Amino acid sequence: MPELPEVETVLRAIQKSEIIGSPISRIEINKSYHIKEITQQEFINKLLGETIHKIERKGKQLIFILDKWALLSHLRMSGKYFFDEIPSRFLAENRAIGVIFHFINGRKLIFCDTRGFGVFYLQSLDNYKNLSPYKDIGPDLINDEIDVDKLFIHCQKIRIPIKMLLLDQKFVAGIGNIYTSEILFVAKIHPLIIVKDLDKEQIKKIIEISQSILKRAVELKGTSIVDFLTPDGEKGTYQNELKVYFRDKKPCYDCQTTITKVSVNGRGTFYCTNCQKI
């Protein structure tokens, strides 16, 4: 968390804000560990005077497109952006401010991260797609064309549970723990089934359902079941449509069987033992 729908929601909010087109006048770095591969002073020196022209996204990665640089931002577990100031009702976020970008027009973009895992990479605009982390990201489930035939051939060699593969951002990009449980429930596929045992139609079904669920979640500005907030301090509402995630010990909406929670590679996984038989 945040996953593709939440990151896309952040992108859309920033893209339509007044920071687009206004040069960066000052940068405050409170938590230097968010800056990767260069020093915080290099980070500041390279970005001062630069203008954010637009924002792109690849999977869960935000890419700020500036004059000479691409600033890649991964929110990881709890990263958030706010405009100008953090709403007073989110006092915990004030203690987690990592970076503040100031703009000539007086606006601010505040990055905060209570768990501290969020990262920034500042890379050359003409080469960032050839570097990590961008080059290691698989096809984006909303923005890219997905080659199901190619994915199926790849899947025939994989001997791990499908839940684990869907979390691998090199396979397809954008899905995290929440949406994986939801996708597999709608597809009626057990999260522990071994990938190589799935046929081509099942792989196709997983991809199509993934795209459908992610697009719907984007429409609802993401899922705020834990702590996701938009840059305007608003919550998403897709949590109102969750079928299995966080619903362990509650009845399945389709068959009334009690929803089960198990751990798959250390990640909480929710499913219906009746609807999703292995």
Task: Please spell the DSSP secondary structure of 2-16, one letter per residue.
Answer: --HHHHHHHHHHHHT
- What would the CATH number be for the domain defined by 4-136? 3.20.190.10
Identify the pLDDT of residue 241.
Answer: 97
User: What global pTM score does this model have?
Assistant: 0.95
Annotated catalytic residue within 58, 60, 221, 243: 60
Q: State both tokens at 3.
A: 């996953």
Identify the pLDDT of residue 231.
Answer: 95
Identify the pLDDT of residue 141.
Answer: 97
Q: State both tokens at 118.
A: 């969020």
Distance CA 50, CA 45 (A): 10
Q: Which residues of 152-175 are buried (b: 16+ CB within 10 A; e: fewer)?
A: beebeebeebbbbbbbebebbbbb
Mean pLDDT by 10 residues, the chain (278 residues): 95 98 98 97 98 98 98 96 86 86 98 95 98 98 96 96 97 97 98 98 98 98 92 95 97 98 94 96
> Where exactly are the structural domains of the chain?
4-136, 148-272
Q: Is 267 a catalytic residue?
A: yes
Q: What is the dihedral of CA 82, 86, 87, 93, to 10 degrees?
A: 100
Annotated catalytic residue within 2, 5, 191, 231: 2
Q: State both tokens at 128.
A: 């960032």
Q: Is 68 a catalytic residue?
A: no
Domain boundaries 148-272, CATH class: mainly alpha
Annotated catalytic residue within 12, 108, 235, 267: 267
Identify the pLDDT of residue 229.
Answer: 92
Identify the pLDDT of residue 278.
Answer: 86
CA distances from 38 to 121, 132, 233 (A): 8, 14, 31
**Torsion sign across C-alpha atoms 227, 233, 238, 239:** positive
Q: Is 18 a catalytic residue?
A: no
Q: How does DSSP classify residue 18?
A: T
Identify the pLDDT of residue 92.
Answer: 73
Identify the pLDDT of residue 189.
Answer: 98
Q: Is 23 a catalytic residue?
A: no
